Structure 1
Amino acid sequence: MDTSSYLKSVVEQTRTFAEWVDGREAATPVPTCPKWTLADLVDHVGATHRMVTMLVGEQLSEPSKAFAAYVPAPADSSQWGAWMSDGAAAAKQAFDSVADDAPVWDPSGAAAGVPFWSRRLFGEASVHRADAAVALDRQYELAPEPAAAALEDWLDTMTSRGYWENRSDFADGMRGDGETLHFHTTDAPGEWLARREPDQVVLERTHAEADLTLRGPAADLLLVLSRRRRLDAAPSLDLQGDRALLDRWIDHMDWVSD
């Protein structure tokens, strides 16, 4: 997927999200984010749209201005739908106005800029729509290829140098001696080998023998690895190898679950 495709999906998924949450009870719990209410979830998604819109639209080289311009969600939940849809549309306009190589700050540590943020907004939309689906008892669907792309975003973001350096709990939990985990989507192209090293998690797009292999439909892999569905609730997934390695991995995949 390219920047345009990512942002098209962000707008489409946000439209669905907005329809689900509009006018709903703000205090509704979000089981997949135990410390959040529905209001917190809406606030996070919509505020992220606006922060990224400023970062990309103004081509900011550091994030303080965008962070300081945080815009909370409306207190009246009947305004949530329009607020979320407007934020996604503004984000798409911002990306449409810049080239992929425009210099924009991002937290990955790889100076990925505009492409990083287009994929990250897509990944956020894909995962947080799953949160809303659980909270509101809605059916979550994501086609195989977009689900594989969202999984790529999740794995790449969570193993980035920036994440390692800024989350000491993740770094301490993921330090290893070469232990390997292989994730394989069966309904769309996608294979990843994660290797735990003392100073980083190395992620490769390859097929290889591993200490732990988890394979199955892309959407199910996405939901399990992002902690949006328990492994025992995803019978379509096939696990081979050391289950403890997977449990430890999932325990530390908590960027947006708290």
Structure 2
Amino acid sequence: MDGMTRNLANKDFWLAALRTEGPAFREAVTDAPLDAPVPSCPGWTVAHLIGHLGEFYGFVLSHVGRGVTSRPEDTSPEEFQPPSGADPLSWWDERYQQVISTLDALDPDMPAWNWAPQAKTVEFWHRRAAHETTVHRWDAQFATINAEPIEPKLAADGVDEVLDTWLPAGRRRGPSDLVGVVGLGATDLDREWLVRLRADGGVALLDTDTLLDTDEHRERAVARGTASDLMLALYGRVGFDLLELAGDERLLEALRTG
């Protein structure tokens, strides 16, 4: 087993994903009514989805190239929304092309603020832009046409991001008072993850390559499925019941970030 070995994800990998997932998002929303509901984002319409993703691009563009790790000044969400009367798709197109060209031009090791307990470099935003676009591409397709699975290696990196970024940053949607060890397995990539839920509400990602048979790491819950279904379950887009489950399923809910 590859265990906790990360995908060989880097700037080029994430930009390639962004260049694929962006047009797929655009295609899904092009002919959809702006007031059509998005079932995977309760309360949202297609217009909300377009606005949210364009707003995210605008926020990234506002700070990613500053070359500093200090938090950007607080801004109003309206600053990144389409101007009154603007065509949402034309506005989105412009933001998407800007974020592609900006991230392509930036060194991934250049200093840049982020909200997670990890290296403050531009690389964070290469990865974040790829996965934000991917998840919302799935949302858009789910709302308008048949949603296509996420490419396996990209999805596995998305699982990595949830476990090494979102959860350690405290961005959990599930219960935080459960204790135990959860095992996740991607059946289409021969990848596995072990996550310890701690009594203080934190999480610890365990390196399966260094664990010994005598280590106390017996899983209390296990979920196995495709990398795409694992990532989508962690984001709350599909239920864990789509996966092969064993053990205390409540522990899986504690890993949700969306």
Verify same fold: TM over 0.5.
yes
What's 2:205 paired with?
A: 203
What's 1:84 paired with?
A: 92
- Bigger Cα displacement from structure 2, 95-104 vs 198-207: 198-207
Q: Which has the higher contact order (CA 8 A, sep 6+)?
A: 2
1:136-155, CA deviations, whole angstroms, 9 ceiling, x for partnerless residues?
13332322111211222223
The equivalent position to 1:241 in structure 2, one of 237, 242, 247, is: 247
CA distance in 2, matches of 1:93, 1:181: 39
For the Cα contact (< 8 Å) 2:174–2:254, is it kept in 1? Answer: no
CA distance in 2, matches of 1:91, 1:224: 27
Amino acid in the other structure paired with 1:203? L
CA distance in 1, matches of 2:148, 2:230: 14
For the Cα contact (< 8 Å) 2:17–2:130, is it kept in 1? Answer: yes
CA distance in 2, matches of 1:188, 1:66: 41
CA drift of 1:69 comes to 7.8
For 1:208-223, what aligned pairs fall within 5 Å after superposition? 209-223=218-232
Q: 1:34 to 1:68 in 2, by over 3 A?
A: closer
CA drift of 1:75 comes to 6.3
For 1:88-107, what aligned pairs fall within 5 Å after superposition? 88-107=96-115
CA distance in 2, matches of 1:223, 1:58: 32
CA distance in 2, matches of 1:80, 1:18: 11
For 1:50-199, what aligned pairs fall within 5 Å after superposition? 50-60=58-68, 61-64=70-73, 70-73=79-82, 79-160=87-168, 163-164=169-170, 170=172, 173-177=175-179, 179-199=180-200
For the Cα contact (< 8 Å) 1:194–1:202, is it kept in 2? Answer: yes
CA distance in 2, matches of 1:195, 1:140: 31
Give % identity.
29
CA drift of 1:227 comes to 1.0
CA distance in 2, matches of 1:56, 1:204: 31
Q: Secondary structure, in 3 states, of the residue corresponding to 1:30?
A: coil
For the Cα contact (< 8 Å) 2:116–2:166, is it kept in 1? Answer: no
- TM-score scaled by structure 2? 0.82
The runs of 5 or more residues in structure 1 that have no matched partner are none
CA drift of 1:44 comes to 0.9
CA drift of 1:40 comes to 1.1
Q: Secondary structure, in 3 states, of the residue corresponding to 1:70?
A: helix
CA distance in 1, matches of 2:207, 2:92: 34
CA distance in 1, matches of 2:254, 2:74: 36
CA distance in 2, matches of 1:67, 1:140: 34
1:217-255, CA deviations, whole angstroms, 9 ceiling, x for partnerless residues?
1111111221111233x2xx21111122223444xx23x
What's 1:2 paired with?
A: 10
Amino acid in the other structure paired with 1:173? P
- TM-score scaled by structure 1? 0.82
CA drift of 1:42 comes to 0.9
- Between the two proteins, the alignment pairs up a number of residues equal to 241
RMSD: 2.6
- Bigger Cα displacement from structure 2, 29-38 vs 132-141: 132-141
Say yes or no: does 1:228 pair with 2:201: no
CA distance in 2, matches of 1:3, 1:93: 13
